[in-house]
């Protein structure tokens, strides 16, 4: 049996299969989940990874005899698993078998409780880790006659998305969509029949967990080359790149420029404040100043949050926020159980462009007000000690200091955030400035200071 404790992360379980986790370990994880949560109905979905059928079978074996019902959700995207948690109160625990955008040798699980409540490190995964990695601790078995049922959620899922977007507003678009041989290749065709104005040019729609074309991670430069070439070749209106499990998407304008998470959050915030005037919009500490500027211009309310889907979902529930956006391409919706949803984000962006009669290059330019550094990683020995020294050195002249998720320091002409990795000895630096010259100047200052403390670029 293999269960490496390092596979239990802040937001999910993620492992190199047969090196960090094997099917016997998966079976034990199922028993550990039962011991903690005592579910009676467990819903299990999976992505197209080559190891997913084996992980599914091992989970079923582990739960059989303990629970009354197991729902086989089949091949779904991760955001569909969150929908199950919100839509169907019978499901006590929902498990999505996926490793998101990781290379093919990986697999894992994203776990959700009834009500679409995420299970993270501090809310159960670390407890689960401690239980299942103690091999001397016996775990429960049972003799129930567990019923296994195929559960088709597609009709409800599609209707729920189309209830938030008025598809009649969406004008004709020619769209190149790169599914990366991931789950978008499964769900885009099911939506397309309801959206006759869209001409979809598919790239890598065949489900293939070996990822023969590229790793399905839209943040990798090599992952966007194919869609960029196809957009230009086909003279398409836009391109779209999904990640492997289909819960993140990035939009490319007709010239081949990729909209950042900040730009897309600003677009969606503006559009949703037209739908929900005065609503509250959440955005994480790494996103740019254009977002609060848009919110203010639309007479909405804004609130900055820590990075991470479990943080945003919790704060959305506490505040009733209508929407939340992250720099990483995750976008969250109150009206879909406070969960992230990639296909809805695309449809809302198309609706916005249609209503405002804008090309996506115009949208890119509209929200591309401030240059950003992108994320720069530094290896350090003592993350918290370095963060404190950065605060002491740079903080006295800052107009605002945010002391969560590391530290963010705001000034008149720039801001930067340094936050610690939860799983590695890394600090992550993000900076934005009023122009490129200022960005370069202040970036050199901060990087030089970090290096003087012994930090090394990762």
For the domain covering 5-152, report its CATH number.
3.40.120.10
Domain 376-457 matching CATH 3.30.310.50: the answer reads yes
Topology given in CATH for the domain delimited by 261-357: Alpha-D-Glucose-1,6-Bisphosphate; Chain A, domain 3 (3.40.120)
- The CA-atom distances, in angstroms, between 107 and each of 16, 20, 50, 256 are 6, 10, 9, 31
Burial class (CB in 10 A: 0-12, 13-18, 19+), 221: exposed
Mean per-residue pLDDT pooled into runs of 10, the chain (458 residues): 95 96 98 98 98 98 98 98 98 97 97 96 95 94 97 97 95 98 96 92 98 94 96 98 96 97 98 98 97 98 94 96 96 97 98 98 98 95 96 96 95 97 88 98 97 95
Please measure the distance between the N-terminal and C-terminal CA atoms of the chain and give it in whole angstroms. 33
Domain 157-253, CATH among 3.10.20.340, 3.30.70.940, 3.40.120.10, 3.40.250.10: 3.40.120.10
Which residue, chain included where needed, has tokens 């949050």? 305
Spatial contact of 333 and 282, defined as CB atoms under 8 Å apart: no
Q: Do domains 157-253 and 376-457 have the same CATH topology?
A: no
Q: Which two tokens stand for residue 334?
A: 């109150």
- Show the CA angle centred on residue 104, arms to residues 101 and 109, nearest 5°: 60
Spatial contact of 114 and 92, defined as CB atoms under 8 Å apart: yes
Spatial contact of 377 and 406, defined as CB atoms under 8 Å apart: no
- In the chain, where are the structural domains located? 5-152, 157-253, 261-357, 376-457
Q: Decide if 100 is catalytic.
A: yes
CB neighbour list of residue 300: distance below 8 Å, 6 or more residues apart = 269, 273, 277, 278, 279, 280, 281
Q: Is the dihedral of CA 113, 117, 118, 120 positive or negative?
A: negative
Comparing CA positions, the residue from 251, 223, 430, 424 lying closest to residue 347 is 251
Q: Which two tokens stand for residue 396?
A: 């006295």
Annotated catalytic residue: which of 81, 100, 345, 373? 100
């Amino acid at each position: 049996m293999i269960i490496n404790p390092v596979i239990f992360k802040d937001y999910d379980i993620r492992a190199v299969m047969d090196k960090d986790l094997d099917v016997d370990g998966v079976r034990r994880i199922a028993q550990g989940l039962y011991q903690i949560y005592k579910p009676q109905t467990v819903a299990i979905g999976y992505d197209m990874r080559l190891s997913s059928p084996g992980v599914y079978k091992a989970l079923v074996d582990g739960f059989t005899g303990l629970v009354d019902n197991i729902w086989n959700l089949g091949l779904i995207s991760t955001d569909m698993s969150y929908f199950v948690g919100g839509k169907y109160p019978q499901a006590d625990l929902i498990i999505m078998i996926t490793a998101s955008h990781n290379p093919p040798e990986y697999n894992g699980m994203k776990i959700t409780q009834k009500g679409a409540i995420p299970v993270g490190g501090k809310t159960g995964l670390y407890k689960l880790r401690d239980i299942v990695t103690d091999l001397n601790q016996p775990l429960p078995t049972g003799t129930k006659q567990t019923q296994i049922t195929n559960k088709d959620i597609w009709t409800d899922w599609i209707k729920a998305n189309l209830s938030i977007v008025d598809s009649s507003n969406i004008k004709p678009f020619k769209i190149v969509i790169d599914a990366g041989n991931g789950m978008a290749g499964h769900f885009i065709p099911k939506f397309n029949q309801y959206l006759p104005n869209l001409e979809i040019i598919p790239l890598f729609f065949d489900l293939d967990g070996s990822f023969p074309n590229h790793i399905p991670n839209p943040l990798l430069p090599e992952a966007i080359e194919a869609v960029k070439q196809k957009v230009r070749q086909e003279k398409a209106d836009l391109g779209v790149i999904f990640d492997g499990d289909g819960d993140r998407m990035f939009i490319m304008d007709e010239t081949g420029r990729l909209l950042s998470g900040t730009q897309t959050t600003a677009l969606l915030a503006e559009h949703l404040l037209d739908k929900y005037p005065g609503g509250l919009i959440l955005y994480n500490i790494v996103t740019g100043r254009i977002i609060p500027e848009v919110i203010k211009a639309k007479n909405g309310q804004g609130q900055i949050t820590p990075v991470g889907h479990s943080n945003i979902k919790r704060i959305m529930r506490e505040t009733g926020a209508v929407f939340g956006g992250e720099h990483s391409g995750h976008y969250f919706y109150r009206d879909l159980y406070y969960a992230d949803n990639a296909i809805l984000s695309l449809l809302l962006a198309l609706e916005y462009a249609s209503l405002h009669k804008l090309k996506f290059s115009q949208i890119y330019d509209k929200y591309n007000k401030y240059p950003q550094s992108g994320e720069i990683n530094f290896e350090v020995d003592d993350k918290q000690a370095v963060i404190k020294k950065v605060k002491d050195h740079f903080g006295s002249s800052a107009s605002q200091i945010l002391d969560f998720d590391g530290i963010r320091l705001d000034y008149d002409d720039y801001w930067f955030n340094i936050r610690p990795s939860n799983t590695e000895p890394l600090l992550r630096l993000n900076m934005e400035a009023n122009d490129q010259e200022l960005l370069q100047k202040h970036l050199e200052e901060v990087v030089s200071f970090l290096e003087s403390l012994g930090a090394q670029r990762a």
